[in-house]
Amino acid sequence: MASELMWPYVIYEENPSVEGFLKWAQNQTDHTFRLKYEQTFIYLQAIINFRTGVRFNRPSLKFATRRMFAPIWSAQRHPIYRLIEIADEEQMLRLRPEIRNLIQERVVTSRSKLSNQHQGHDTILEEINKSLKSLIPLVPSQRHWEIAARNCTNFSKLRTNIFNIIGYSESEANEPRTRPGFTAESRRFRVQIRKTQFVNPNADNRIFQNLGRELTLSEQMIRFSEIASMKRNEFIKATLIKKTPLGIWHPIPITCDEAELQGSESSLKKSEILSIINSLIPSLGDLDRLRFRGLSNKSREDLVNILQEVRNILAENKISTSEE
C-alpha cells in the first residue's frame, strides 16, 4: 500500500524525492487518498514502531506509539481497551517520578538476555498461562489453577521427562510455522489497486468508497482522526475530571449505512430499543446473556449504551470466530 500511495507522485513528477512526496501528499484533497495515507503512514507505522520499541527495549518509542494509537480505542468498538488506556495513564501520573521512570525502563523483559529479543510482559504472561493450561483439566477449578501455578516448573520438567521416556513429541512445538505467500499475494493486491485507481488522487470521477466499490464510506471517516481524538478527550474529561458517565457513545461509522442507522436510533423510543436488544441477546454466549437481565427498568440512555455493548460483543465474537 505504501508503494501504491507513492506511485501517482512518482509517475507525475520528473524529479521525485522523499521531501517532495511528503509535501505533495499533504496538499492532496482526495478523501480516499488521505484516508489510506493516514492509515498506512500513521497508524500502521505506529504498530511497527510499537513492536520495535518492545523488541529492542526502547521505552520512549513504545510509549509514544501508544499515545499515537490511543484515539483508535475511542473511535471504534474497543471500550475495554479505552478504559485500560485511561486507567494506565492515570496510574502513571499518580506515581512518584522515580517509580514511574523505573517502570518505563522495565516495561519489557529479555528472558534470553539478548538485546534484540525483548518481550512485553503481557506476552510473557500469555505464554505462562498457555503452559499452565496444559497442566490442568479442561474444566479446571480454582484449586487446579493454584496447584499448577505453584508447581509449574516441576510439573513441566516431569511432563517433559515422561514424554521423552515414552517417545512422544508434541506436534505444536515440532511443526514448522506456515507463512502465506506474501510476495505473490502482495503483487496481486497491488495490481488490483492500480487497476481500479483506488488511491490515485488524479483519477477522474472519484467517489469515497471501499476497494470493491459496493460500499460508500461515511462522511465521518473523512475526519476519522479528528473525531477519534475528540472522543478520547471527552472520555478523559468525563472519567478523570468530572467523574460522571460519558453518556451515549457510538463508534465512528465506517459506511453511510452505519451512519444512517446511528441517526435513526437516536429517535427510537425506549420500547423500540429494548425490542432490538432482546432480539440480539439470544445470539450471545451463556455468560454474556446473564449480564443483560432486568432491562425493562433501565433508562432510555442506559438502553442505548447496552445496545451498543451487545453489538460490540457480537462483533468481537465474529472476529474471534473468523480468526479461528
Give CA–CA dist 58/268, Å, rounded.
Answer: 50
> Secondary structure of 206-247 in the HEC alphabet?
CCCECCCCCCEECHHHHCHHHHHHHHHHHHHHHHHHCCCCCC
Mean pLDDT of 276-295: 83
User: Largest Cα–Cα distance of the chain, in whole Å?
Assistant: 71
Is 80 exceeded by the pLDDT of residue 77? no
Cβ distance 246 to 238 under 8 Å? yes
Mean pLDDT of 108-126: 81
Judged by phi (left if over 0) then psi (alpha if -120 to 50, else beta), residue 58 lies in beta
Is 60 exceeded by the pLDDT of residue 175? no
**Residue 296, domain member (yes or no):** yes
What is the pLDDT at residue 19? 92
**Residue 317, domain member (yes or no):** yes
Q: Give the cell for residue 18.
A: 522523499
The pLDDT confidence band at residue 20, using thresholds 50, 70 and 90, is very high
Strand extents, DSSP E, 277-320: none
**Residue 315, domain member (yes or no):** yes
pTM of the model: 0.64
Task: Quickly tell me which residue has 457480537 as its cell.
Answer: 314
**Residue 39, domain member (yes or no):** no
Judged by phi (left if over 0) then psi (alpha if -120 to 50, else beta), residue 57 lies in left
Q: What is the DSSP letter of 253?
A: P
Give CA–CA dist 56/50, Å, rounded.
Answer: 10
Q: Report H helices in the chain.
A: 2-12, 18-26, 31-38, 45-55, 59-69, 71-75, 79-94, 97-105, 121-133, 142-150, 152-166, 171-174, 182-196, 219-222, 224-236, 256-265, 270-280, 286-291, 300-323
Mean pLDDT of 270-287: 84
Mean pLDDT of the chain: 83
Give CA–CA dist 120/106, Å, rounded.
Answer: 10
Give CA–CA dist 159/152, Å, rounded.
Answer: 10
What is the pLDDT at residue 321? 63
Number of folded domains that form the chain: 1
108 DSSP β-pair partners = 120
**Residue 307, domain member (yes or no):** yes
182 residue type, one letter: F
For the stretch 124-145, pLDDT in tens is 888 888 888 888 888 888 888 8
| DSSP-based three-state secondary structure for 107 | coil
| DSSP-based three-state secondary structure for 120 | strand
Mean pLDDT of 217-226: 89
**Residue 309, domain member (yes or no):** yes
For the stretch 35-66, pLDDT in tens is 899 888 888 888 888 889 888 888 888 888 88
Is 70 exceeded by the pLDDT of residue 221? yes
The pLDDT confidence band at residue 324, using thresholds 50, 70 and 90, is low
Cβ distance 295 to 277 under 8 Å? yes
**Residue 140, domain member (yes or no):** no
Task: Quickly tell me which residue has 425506549 as its cell.
Answer: 270
What is the pLDDT at residue 96? 92
Those residues with Cβ within 8 angstroms of residue 26's Cβ, 6 or more apart along the chain or in another chain: none
Those residues with Cβ within 8 angstroms of residue 321's Cβ, 6 or more apart along the chain or in another chain: none
What is the pLDDT at residue 174? 44
- Residue 256: domain span: 247-323
Give CA–CA dist 160/197, Å, rounded.
Answer: 56
**Residue 154, domain member (yes or no):** no
For the stretch 304-322, pLDDT in tens is 888 888 888 887 777 666 5
Mean pLDDT of 195-217: 85
Percent of all residues in the chain with a pLDDT value above 90, rounded to a whole number: 4
Those residues with Cβ within 8 angstroms of residue 22's Cβ, 6 or more apart along the chain or in another chain: none
Cβ distance 300 to 270 under 8 Å? yes
Q: Give the cell for residue 314.
A: 457480537
